[in-house]
Amino acid sequence: MDLGNHEKLEMIHIAITINKDFIIPACVMLTSLLENNKKNQIHVHVLTNSKSYKLQLLKRTLKRYQCNYTFHVLSKEIEQKINNFCISAHADFVNYYRIFQCRYS
């Protein structure tokens, strides 16, 4: 079915969890995702505790593709709960953000 350039397919929700160290890789991933899915409407949910100026790069990437997005900043309460989890070289703090995603959906 040819939808032409005007019709969009279904809305796809993508959730990513990032800290200040993963902002640039997230921009690369999102550029690839959005370049290769131009016929889909995509809404990106960004879970983060970062207040880095680099978040502007991520916003600029999302705006360039006219992508819907929502930033979800984790509360101090959630951060305190995550601090009780096992943090190691293989399981960073940011990996646990996904557990709390349902609270922000």
Q: What is the C-alpha to C-alpha distance for residues 30 and 81, in angstroms, rounded to an integer?
A: 29
The radius of gyration of the chain from alpha carbons, rounded to an integer in Å, stands at 15
Q: What is the C-alpha to C-alpha distance for residues 68 and 49, in angstroms, rounded to an integer?
A: 20
- 103 or 50: whose pLDDT is higher? 50
pTM beyond 0.95: no
The rounded mean pLDDT for the chain is 81
**3-class DSSP assignment, residue 1:** coil
Between strands 11-18 and 41-48, the pairing is parallel
Q: Is the pLDDT of residue 1 over 50?
A: no
Residue-wise pLDDT tens digits, 26-55: 999 999 999 999 889 999 999 887 778 888
